Amino acid sequence: MSTDDEQVLDAFARHLELQRNLSRHTIRAYLGDVTSLLDQLHEAGVALRDLDLNQLRTWLVGQQRRGMARSTLARRVAAVRTFCTWAARAGHMGSDVGARLRSPRPDRHLPVVLGVDDAASLLELARERAADGDDPVQVRDWAALELLYATGVRVGELVGTDVGDADLGERTLRVTGKGDKQRMVPFGVPAGRALAAWLEQSRPRLVRPGTGAALFLGVRGGRLDPRTLRGVLHRLAAEAGVHDLAPHGLRHSAATHLLAGGSDLRTVQEVLGHASLATTQRYTHVTPERLRAAYTQAHPRA
């Protein structure tokens, strides 16, 4: 990528932050996606101003051949289309060629969802490993996993919280989601117990000079990296003998169990921080018994 491209990319980043008000996570993803395109153009000796639809399609086909999931491809197309619209308006391109780039339909399947018993087994194992309190990291992992399941928040939202965002008395957690939108999410007694143990006994042991207000800390005293939690969850799932899953799997499990327990879609939408109810409705197909019971009770010809 040329120096000129780097300057364009920096200006695009400022646009996403100041004009679009996107989250840091989304901005980072979009910049990575556009960088992929600009790198290919640079290797092909094509200037940004000369970009056309055929070159965009060639870039997209290259992404597909690398085995990327359709959901990732859809996000990359969205990022490039946003970039092309901005670049055309800013005078870096002659026209908005990205407007005609079609996005592949994203996969609609859900990740692995744990049953209620398997989720309980996983979290009980985390609690047992933290029980003696000798290892602050084990207590941290227990508290973090309990909160992920109890609240359904994204792993990035959880590690982005500060101590002041957690209210043990009210058992609520304030998180900042996509678009820097804040929401309050409740959590139950088990998560409250784990979080209290972390804050009162274990977090102080990981504090180092310069440690900030982050709720969850790494072993060096900085804010916990989400990749660390992913590794913890993979190891615990294997040890507990349940389906392997990532932190997002706990989010999906929480949503599924809320719906199966009788929660309405609007409430689950608020808990998860979905902008659209249609996104939340993805979970309804995994609880057919509840839907069938509601139909039997309500439909006059059931």
Tokens representing 229 are: 């939690």
274 is catalytic: yes
When comparing pLDDT for 302 and 293, which is higher?
293
Range 102-111 average pLDDT:
63
Q: What is the mean pLDDT of the chain?
A: 85
Q: Which phi and psi angles does 172 have, rounded to 5°? A: -135, 155
DSSP labels for 159-202? HT-BGGGEETTTTEEEEE-GGG-EEEEE--HHHHHHHHHIIIII
Out of 243, 248, 282, 290, which one is annotated catalytic? 248
pLDDT-derived band at 1 (thresholds 50, 70, 90) equals: low
Flag whether pLDDT at 300 surpasses 70.
Answer: no
Residue 55 identity: Q
When comparing pLDDT for 41 and 279, which is higher?
41
Name the nearest CA neighbour of 79 among 43, 25, 41, 42: 25
292 is catalytic: no
Out of 25, 42, 178, 282, which one is annotated catalytic? 178
- Most confident among 126-135, 261-270, 291-300 (mean pLDDT): 126-135
Flag whether pLDDT at 63 surpasses 70.
Answer: yes
Percent of the chain with pLDDT over 90: 41
Out of 75, 81, 140, 251, which one is annotated catalytic? 251
pLDDT-derived band at 61 (thresholds 50, 70, 90) equals: confident
pLDDT on residue 302:
46
Out of 15, 75, 154, 257, which one is annotated catalytic? 154
234 is catalytic: no
129 is catalytic: no
Percent of the chain with pLDDT over 70: 88
248 is catalytic: yes
Flag whether pLDDT at 167 surpasses 80.
Answer: yes
252 is catalytic: no
